[in-house]
Amino acid sequence: MFVLPRSDQTQAEHQPRNTAACISGVNETHVFCSSGENVRLSCNNALSGCTSTTWIYSRHSETVELIAGGIKKKDTERHERLSLGSDCSLNIKKVTKEDCGLYSCQQYVKEVQQGPGSYVYLHVLHVSSSSSQSEIRSGRSVTLSCQLYYDIFTCDYLVRSEGIDLIWVNQAGVNLQTDSRFQIFSSEQCLSSLTTTLLNEDHNREWRCQVTQRNQLKTSATYTVKYSVSSSNSEKSSQTTAAPTTQASETVSSMTVGSLIRVIVIIVEIAVFAAPTVILLQIICVRRAGEF
């Protein structure tokens, strides 16, 4: 049977004893990872051989058995992305935002639970863009959304009790809140948006959304600006393409004029050499006419 930790307490009263980033520890743990990463959730109460280990996932008051008796269940949506480590830890490949929730590791021998359970709360950070890839280019406005997905706890609890905060930084780690070209807005504490107008030099530039806990970095999700050709480069390309055409036209025109001049010169030369011969023929014709 699956048992939630401290079921006799309200959600707001529940105080986790430890937090970790992507590697969990002790009986109750908060793990923060970004979507697309691989994560390992530790089972601290495991018995040797893992044949007594059962992993159960809970979200929105619904529970699903992922591992039973050390054997992976085949009828779960996460089947292909799950594996059991040699230390009975649960490994999840390419974490998605839907993977957030509570993971419980229990030990059963002959259907009797052995000792307390081990509980891991997985929170997933995800960054998305308001624009499609074809719209990402210089001069365009883009809005990035950074959201921390969670379950069991409220965002207010995570912020108030766990000291969670979302921060936008550039690839050098400088807080973008201090840069006037970026507009950063938070409609709620676990959702932050960044809006800016793209510049030519933004190509291949990275902006990161970080999750910090009491000013300590837990995980981050990166967005990289990608566009092939900016509008200014397109204009330069057009000018570069047109230049050879103009030069070719001038060359053809130059060749035509040169050929015409050469023909005229040849005609003149022929006329110069042919003139004495014509005069001599005329004299001969006149003399013969006089004889008759």
What is the radius of gyration, based on Cα positions, of the chain? 40
275 band by pLDDT with thresholds 50, 70 and 90: low
The lowest-confidence range among 120-134, 146-160, 245-259, 269-283 is 245-259
Q: Does the pLDDT value for residue 99 go beyond 50?
A: yes
State the average pLDDT for the chain: 77
pLDDT of residue 170: 94
Percent of the chain's residues with pLDDT above 70: 68
What is the pTM for the complete model shown? 0.69
DSSP one-letter string for 139-160: T-EEEEEEEEE--SS-HHHHHH
Answer yes or no: are the C-beta atoms of 146 and 125 closer than 8 Å.
yes
Tell me, yes or no, if the two domains 28-124 and 126-225 fold the same way: yes
Q: CA-to-CA distance for 146 and 188, rounded, in angstroms?
A: 11
**Alpha helices, DSSP H, located in the chain:** 155-162, 231-291
Distance CA 53, CA 279 (A): 125
pLDDT level of residue 4 (50, 70, 90 thresholds): very low
Q: What is the CATH number of domain 28-124?
A: 2.60.40.10
pLDDT at 230 over 80: no
**Class of the domain covering 126-225:** mainly beta
pLDDT single digits (tens) 147-191: 999 887 788 888 888 889 999 999 999 999 999 999 999 878 899
Q: To which residue do tokens 């839907």 refer?
A: 98
Secondary structure class of 210 (helix, strand, coil): strand
> 175 vs 3, which has greater pLDDT?
175
> Residue 192: what are its φ and ψ, rounded to 5°?
-130, 135
Does residue 200 sit in helix, strand or coil? helix
| Cα separation, 22 vs 243, whole angstroms | 57
pLDDT in the model for residue 278: 45
Residue ranges covered by each domain of the chain: 28-124, 126-225
Structure-model confidence comparison of residues 147 and 240, the more confident one? 147
Report the relative pairing of strands 90-92 and 39-41 from DSSP bridges.
antiparallel
Contact predicate 85/42, CB 8 Å: no
Distant-in-sequence, close-in-space partners of 69: CB < 8 Å, separation ≥ 6: 51, 52, 53, 54, 108
CA 145 to chain centre: 13
Report pLDDT for 177.
Answer: 92
pLDDT digits (tens, 9 = 90+) for 250-271: 443 444 545 555 645 455 455 5
pLDDT in tens, 52-90: 999 999 988 789 999 999 999 887 778 899 999 999 999
Q: Residue 79 has what pLDDT?
A: 84
